[in-house]
């Protein structure tokens, strides 16, 4: 029988559950409600072109930490986004954010 040993809410609005499996293994389950972020991103996407008034910076996307963990796990089997080299992070972000599958993480038009 499985039993939830602990549940914690993290600063990034993710919920982590520690589950004791019947075979003695510990499962760590992360969850996050993405609906508020997706609604905010949709509003930002239609608000303007994403550039600052001086046009020296541009808003591109808002990606929740849980997605960074998933994308890292797809890439190398780990979920530590910050352990990846910067060039690898850029490559993953460019690939994911330019795909239609993750368009709702974008906060302005264009491609990376």
Domain boundaries, the chain: 1-31, 34-112
- At residue 60 the predicted structure's pLDDT band, cuts being 50, 70 and 90, is very high
pLDDT score, position 84 = 93
Tell me which residue of 61, 38, 40, 35 sits closest to 50, measured CA to CA.
61
pLDDT score, position 14 = 81
Length of the chain: 112
For the segment 46-55, the average pLDDT, to the nearest whole number, is 91
* pTM score, whole prediction: 0.75
3-state DSSP assignment of residue 49: coil
pLDDT score, position 39 = 94
For the segment 5-17, the average pLDDT, to the nearest whole number, is 82
Question: Do 68 and 81 meet the contact criterion of CB atoms below 8 Å apart?
Answer: yes
Give residue-wise pLDDT tens across range 82-95.
999 999 999 999 99
Question: Do 66 and 14 meet the contact criterion of CB atoms below 8 Å apart?
Answer: yes
pLDDT score, position 5 = 80
pLDDT score, position 77 = 87
φ/ψ of residue 110, rounded to 5: 105, 180
For the segment 18-45, the average pLDDT, to the nearest whole number, is 90
For the segment 97-109, the average pLDDT, to the nearest whole number, is 93
Tokens 């993750």 correspond to what residue? Answer: 102
What CA dihedral angle connects 96, 85, 58 and 104, to 10 degrees?
20
CA angle 92, 95, 101 (to 5 degrees): 115
- At residue 98 the predicted structure's pLDDT band, cuts being 50, 70 and 90, is very high
């Amino acid at each position: 029988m499985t039993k939830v040993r602990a549940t914690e809410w993290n600063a990034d609005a993710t919920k982590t559950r520690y589950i004791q499996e019947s075979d003695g293994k510990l499962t760590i389950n992360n969850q996050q409600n993405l609906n508020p972020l997706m609604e905010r991103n949709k509003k930002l996407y239609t608000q303007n072109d994403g550039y600052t008034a001086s046009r020296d910076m541009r808003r591109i996307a808002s990606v929740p930490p849980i997605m960074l963990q998933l994308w890292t796990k797809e890439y190398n089997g780990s979920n530590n986004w910050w352990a990846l080299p910067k060039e690898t992070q850029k490559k993953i972000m460019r690939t994911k954010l330019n795909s239609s599958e993750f368009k709702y993480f974008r906060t302005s038009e264009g491609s990376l």
